[in-house]
Amino acid sequence: MSETNLAFPDKGSPAIERSLFQRLRSRLDSWRIETRLKRRKNNVAAISPLGSGMRPLQNTDIPLIFLTRNSVNFLPSFLSHYRKIGVTRFLCIDDNSSDATRDILLQQPDVDLFKSPLRYGEADRGKLWRHELLKLYGINRWYLNVDCDEYFIYDNCEEEPLPELIANLELKGIRHCPAPMIDLYPSGPLSSAVFDGSSEIMPWKIADMFDASGYRMSADNRFMSLTGGPRGRILKEHVELMKYPLLYVETTMAFASSIHKPLPFYRNFSPIYGSLLHFKFFSDALLFAQAAVADAQYYGGSHVYKNVIDVLGAEENVSLIGPDSIRFRDSRQFTELGLFARP
């Protein structure tokens, strides 16, 4: 049951207020779900290192966990962006890529690359892989956890590295940093937006527009939820847009429930101090969706990608521009709009 429902962004409501009873319910749910997940006999997914293998993390490392499959178009800008903001180690599981993804990652000295005999869907949509990485590299430390098409930003991230953001979060007692997933799309037809990874050009230079309003936020005992944006406006999909990409991991079960609802649940109601720039809409969006449906590894029979095929396949020069579309400038713009606050 929803505890609250409000428009987003809302500069006057930086966090969702919760009663003592609601906070206690979140703690009870955390204990109950983690206990149940630990009892599952199939809560293990074998992974094995590729290349130079696993190297222990140092205390000063800021590790990033990501899963990938056929991501050569994103890798140059993805690695460059996260190195620039302060990531020192990348922990990656490749889901049976058939392009040059593995070759590229094996050449990176700060990437630990793993493979698995399981596919993404068989690994409970990657949750079991993340669980294994946390067991290998350890808990009681900060991690980033994102997908290859997600670029985490926060106020003045162009100048202030992640250790400064983390220090500010720790001063406020924040351990999970919620981040709305904001879809970006080109100002013209999708067919004109070519992003092929041939350079480190950032994807927001090509898909440079986003919806500045038209979102709804709610909360239950486990997490804050966000819907809307162009996928709600065009695709008529209530896709979950809230994630928790930066968090202090206290249990190897942190991602075992969902990347949208990390454990413990009671840490999921902090003010919003970051966003994920999300890039699904380039000239190859229809081909990507068709491949995702054929691969049959995604939630709900890949119904989201089926909707993408229906919409993008119906019109040759489809555009996602709408009345709330504005051009992306930088992180400070998101602060000004109220999409996140300065910690």
CA dihedral 161, 162, 164, 170 (to 10 degrees): 180
> What is the rounded distance in angstroms from the CA atom of residue 183 to the CA atom of residue 209?
8
Q: Report the C-alpha gap between 332 and 337 in whole angstroms.
A: 9
Q: Which helix (H) or strand (E) holds 229?
A: helix 229-233
Question: What pLDDT is recorded for position 297?
Answer: 52
- Digit-coded pLDDT (tens) for 6-35: 778 876 455 677 888 999 999 999 999 999
Spatial separation of the C-alpha atoms in residues 320 and 104, rounded to whole Å: 32
Cα 318 from Cα 312, distance rounded (Å)? 6
Please state the pTM of the whole predicted model.
0.92
Q: Which residues of the chain have pLDDT under 50?
A: 1-2, 12
- Structural domain spans, the chain: 19-337
Topology of the domain comprising 19-337: Spore Coat Polysaccharide Biosynthesis Protein SpsA; Chain A (3.90.550)
At residue 148, the 3 state secondary structure works out as coil
Q: Given this model, what pLDDT does residue 318 score?
A: 82
Helix or strand or coil: residue 173?
coil
- CA distance linking residue 10 with residue 8, whole number of Å: 5
Q: What pLDDT does residue 2 have?
A: 47
Q: Residue 315: count other Cβ atoms within 10 Å of its Cβ.
A: 10
